Amino acid sequence: MPAVSYSPDFPSVENIAPQSFEIRPFNGAVGAEIIGLDLSRPLNDQDFARIHRAHLDHHVVVFRDQRITPEQHIAFSRRFGVLQIHVLKQFLLAGHPEILIVSNIIENGQSIGLGDAGKFWHSDLSYKQLPSLGSMLHAQELPSEGGDTLFADMHKAWDGLPGALRKAVEGRSAAHSYTARYSESKFEGNWRPKLTPEQLAQVAEVVHPIVRTHPETGRKALFVSEGFTTRIVGLPEDESKALLAELYAHSVLPRNIYRHQWQPHDLVFWDNRSLIHLAAGCPSHLRRKLYRTTIQGDAPF
């Protein structure tokens, strides 16, 4: 495992006492929960290494009952790398631009956050030259029903890809765009602001391999999604659409999916190099608010 840079907010020193916590894999396709860890306290290098390993092994880890501040959320995220600032700056937390507010709450006639985030299957920031390593989403306010988040394992999707599909995509690349389905409505009562020319310039189309190699584990994974992938480079439009539709359908087979039902103060950390995810939505009159940090990754290869 490569070395990980450490934030000065959580100093790497040997005299930090270890914490007693348990990593419990879920019974389904992917994921694990971490019980007994307090992220409001500094972590020593050994505890951090266990968390890092669990994230690589299980692709999504759920830290239960985390009563952390935005500053602590940001500091823990930075231990994994540089944080990325979302293009929708109107939905960033005041004083903490590293945090995107994901919320359907309306105050004074204005949305306080991105209300329809994750409305289509996607990998965060796949539309950037350096897509996300991972995202951390911290529950602030949860609805009494709905609001689940689904995760699909793209390593398993690749491993189980039929031979004809595998042959059709090996060595090919696909284009990704933030605006691919930006204006399509899916959740009642939510809307998206019109992007300015400056914002559009930040999310120009990029091209990535359809099959990427995880830079830390070496495992291969499909790297396309209905949310951001627009076309397969070098194919006629009809062939591209048909092939992508097959890949999308195969990626989200039930055997590849973990459905997260949120509990108060959950902090969920997933690997965008290994997974795609989807917000299931909730009734628009039920308040939902979460804080998200996004960690920059490497150029896919």
The parent domain of residue 77 ranges over 22-296
Mean of all residue pLDDT scores within the chain: 91
- pLDDT at 195 (0 to 100): 78
Percent of the chain clearing pLDDT 70 (strictly above):
92
Q: Which of 122, 138, 214, 273 is catalytic?
A: 122
- pLDDT at 185 (0 to 100): 62
**Which tokens go with 27?**
């019974």
Residue 4 lies in a domain: no
- In whole angstroms, what is the distance from residue 160 CA to residue 222 CA? 11
- pLDDT at 8 (0 to 100): 45
For the ranges 10-19, 33-42, 180-189, 225-234, the lowest mean pLDDT is seen at 180-189
Q: DSSP per residue over 84-135, as a string?
A: PPPS-GGGEETTEEEEEEEE--EETTEESS-TTTT-S-B-TTTTSSS-EEEE
For the ranges 58-62, 145-149, 200-204, the lowest mean pLDDT is seen at 200-204
Give mean pLDDT, residues 247-268. Answer: 96
- pLDDT at 6 (0 to 100): 41
Residue 15 lies in a domain: no
Residue pair 6/79 in contact (Cβ under 8 Å)? The answer is: yes
- pLDDT at 5 (0 to 100): 41
Q: Is 124 a catalytic residue?
A: yes
Residue 7 lies in a domain: no
Residue 128 lies in a domain: yes
Residue 291 lies in a domain: yes
Give mean pLDDT, residues 198-224. Answer: 93
Residue 13 lies in a domain: no
Q: Is 292 a catalytic residue?
A: yes
Residue 3 lies in a domain: no
Characterize 63-76 residue by residue with b for buried, 16 or more Cβ atoms within 10 angstroms of its Cβ, and e for exposed.
Answer: bbebebebebbbbb
Total domains present in the chain: 1
Q: Which of 124, 153, 266, 271 is catalytic?
A: 124
Residue 14 lies in a domain: no
- pLDDT at 176 (0 to 100): 96
Q: Is 52 a catalytic residue?
A: no
Residue 42, SS3?
Answer: coil
- pLDDT at 190 (0 to 100): 56
- Banded pLDDT at 197 (limits 50, 70, 90): confident
Tens-digit pLDDT profile for residues 121-151: 999 999 999 999 999 999 999 999 999 999 9
Residue pair 220/158 in contact (Cβ under 8 Å)? The answer is: yes
Which pTM value belongs to this model? 0.90
> In CATH, what number is assigned to the domain containing residue 155?
3.60.130.10
Percent of the chain clearing pLDDT 90 (strictly above):
77
- In whole angstroms, what is the distance from residue 240 CA to residue 101 CA? 34
Tens-digit pLDDT profile for residues 2-22: 444 444 444 454 588 999 999
Q: Which of 208, 231, 277, 288 is catalytic?
A: 277
Q: Is the pLDDT of residue 183 over 80?
A: no
Give mean pLDDT, residues 188-206. Answer: 76
Tens-digit pLDDT profile for residues 71-126: 999 999 999 999 999 988 889 999 999 999 999 999 988 889 988 777 899 999 99
